Amino acid sequence: MDIRAILAGLAFALMWSSAFTSARIIVADASPLAALTLRYLVSGLLGVAIARALGQSWHLTPAQWRATIIFGILQNAVYLGLNFVAMQTIQASVAAIIASTMPLLVALAGWAFLGERLKPLAAAGLVAGTLGVGLIMGSRITGGVDLMGLLLCGIGVIALTIATLAVRGATSGGNFLMIVGLQMLVGCAALALATAVFETPQVTPSWPLAAAFLYTTLVPGLAATFVWFWLVNRIGATRAATFHFLNPFFGVAIAALLLGEALGAQDVLGVAIITLGILAVQLSRQSKG
C-alpha cells in the first residue's frame, strides 16, 4: 500500500466520520427527513451529472439496478434517515460509534447466516467490539441517554449491514459513480415519501445550518464516495475496508472538537476496544488472500 493510498484512506475515514457532526448541526435547525431528502436530491443530481460527464451510462445491468434500489432504500433512506431523526436527541459521537460497528455486524452475519468461516482473529475482534460497545452504552444508559434514539441508530446499522451483504459484488461491471448517484436519488424518493407521512417540514435559517448542509452534501455525500472508489480500484475492497477501523476514533474526536461533546474515561476505553476489534476483523479478511 503506497503513501497515496494511505492518505486517501485516511481522508475517506475522516470525511465519513465527520458526517455525524454535520448531521447533528443540521437537525438542530431543520426537520431531519426533509433536510436529508434535499441533501440526496442535490447529491444525486450532481453525482449523475458528473458520471455522465465522465462518460458513464445509466443503462445498468439487472444486478446493478438491484444493488442501486436495495442500497438506496436501506442505506440512504433507512440507515441515514433513522440516524438523522435519532440525532435530534442523542450525541453525534454515540451515533458514530453505533454506525462504526457495521464491519463487525457484517462479519457476524456472514458467519451466522451465510456459513462463512470465522477465523480466530476475526472472532477475537467480534468479542472485543462487543465489549467496547457494552462499555460505552452502559455508561450512556446510566447517564440518561435517550433510549429511542439508541434504538433508531441500532435499527439503522442493521439495515446498513443487510444492504452490504445483499449487494456484495453486484456493482461490478463499471458505472460506479452513476450507481452512487442513482442510489442517492432512490434514497431521495423514499425519504420524500417518509417526509410526507411523518413530518411537517420546518427550518430555522442560520449560517451553521447552511454551512453544515453544504458540507454534508459535498464532502461526505460526494467527495468521500469518489475517494472510496478510487481507493478500491487502487488497492482492492478488502484492503480499503481496513480504514474503517479509524471511524470510531475520528467520529468521537470530531464531535468532541466541534460540538464540545464530553467523553469520560470509560468512553475512551470503549472506543479504543471497538477500534481494535474492527481492525482485527478487517485484517482477518485481508489475510484470506
The 3 state secondary structure assigned to 78-117 is: HHHHHHHHHCCCCCHHHHHHHHHCHHHHHHHHHHHHCCCC
The whole-number average pLDDT for the span 71-78 is: 91
The radius of gyration of the chain from alpha carbons, rounded to an integer in Å, stands at 18
Tell me the torsion sign for CA atoms 25, 29, 33, 36: negative
Segment 55-74 shows an average pLDDT of 87
Nearest-angstrom CA–CA distance, 125 and 119: 10
b/e sequence 133-150, b meaning 16+ C-beta within 10 Å: bebbbebbeeeebeeebb
Distance CA 44, CA 42 (A): 6
Q: What percent of the chain has pLDDT over 90?
A: 37
- Tell me what pLDDT residue 56 has: 87
Please tell me the number of Cα atoms within 13 Å of 94 on its side-chain side: 32
Distance CA(137)–CA(253), nearest Å, equals 17
Q: Tell me, what's the pLDDT at 160?
A: 87
What does pTM read for this prediction?
A: 0.87
> What average pLDDT does the segment 125-149 reach?
83
Q: Tell me the β-bridge partners of 225.
A: none
Is the separation of the CB atoms in 208 and 24 below 8 Å? no
- pLDDT for residue 278: 85
Listed in sequence order, the residues at least 6 apart from 279 whose beta carbon sits closer than 8 Å to its beta carbon are: 125, 242, 245
Cell 438506496 locates to 72
Calculate mean pLDDT across residues 257-280: 86
Query: How many Cα atoms occupy the beta-carbon half-sphere of 221 within 13 Å?
Result: 31
- What would the pLDDT profile of 145-174 be if each residue is shown by its tens digit? 888 999 999 999 999 888 878 766 655 566
Indicate whether 30 pLDDT > 90: yes
- pLDDT(193) > 80: yes
Read off the amino acid at residue 103. Answer: P
Which has more confidence, 2 or 224? Answer: 224
List of long-range contacts for 254-257, beta carbons under 8 Å, 24+ apart: 254/14, 254/17, 254/18, 254/20, 254/21, 254/92, 255/20, 255/21, 255/24, 255/91, 255/92, 255/93, 255/96, 256/93
Residue 208: per-residue pLDDT: 94
